[in-house]
Chains A and B, each alone.
Chain A
């Protein structure tokens, strides 16, 4: 079975631009969460979506938004990019059953110049 897949793997953007990151969860997983991992730090929670509805939001500005589609894939959008948005963006999916463990993708490395 395919794991969590994210695209693209690497991305370079200019300050002020907009970026869209994509995530496909493990088949059968209805929950998708997004995390930002700045170099040398642990991941920080950005959003959780379940059944297309936002279930949680971390302490991030309104420039960050996300959505989940009927097939449970998800997009993370960031507007008006700042240098400080440079980070590894991780997507995780989890089942609504059992221990609801999070399975992570390999992330998208975003560099803002």
Chain B
């Protein structure tokens, strides 16, 4: 079974600075997707960034980028130029590419605080 581990329950960053959130996962599959979701106090899970395992190039979305290390099964999220609106819970998630499965396996989350 796949597992996702987020070892940082809480992180804080100064506004305009850079912060990196860590995620490791375990799987025997070779093809899969990895995601970072943001969950603000409004509760809605918002997709931040997606990485396909067969792509070696790290995904980027504006101020958000990932460091995907497939051999090490590591998938960290870097937030540059942090803004107050980035404060939220961040969840790392895994999804298999096999059999049309939509099942997401989530980590326990990292609470990010952005200090003005």
Contacts and interface: CB of A to CB of B under 8 A. Distances in A.
Interface stretch (B13-21, B37-45, B61-69, B70-78): B37-45
Given A42-B108, A42-B109, A99-B50, A106 B42 contact: yes
A23 interface: no
Chain B contact patch, size range: 20 to 34
Contacts of A90: 45
Contacts, number: 65
A55 interface: yes
A106 B102 contact: no
B28 interface: no
A8 interface: no
Main secondary structure of the interface of B (DSSP, over half): strand
A67 B101 CA distance: 17
A66 to B, nearest CB: 14
Given A42-B91, A42-B108, A42-B109, A48 B103 contact: yes
A58 to B, nearest CB: 7
Given A99-B50, A103-B47, A104-B45, A42 B102 contact: no
A88 interface: yes
A43 B101 contact: no
Interface of A: 31, 33, 35, 40-45, 48, 50, 55-56, 58, 88, 90, 92, 94, 96, 99-107, 109
Interface of B: 4, 33, 35, 37, 42-47, 50, 52, 91, 93, 95, 100-109
20 contacts: A42-B91, A42-B93, A42-B108, A42-B109, A43-B45, A45-B104, A45-B105, A48-B102, A50-B100, A55-B102, A92-B102, A92-B104, A99-B33, A100-B102, A101-B50, A104-B44, A104-B45, A105-B44, A107-B44, A109-B43
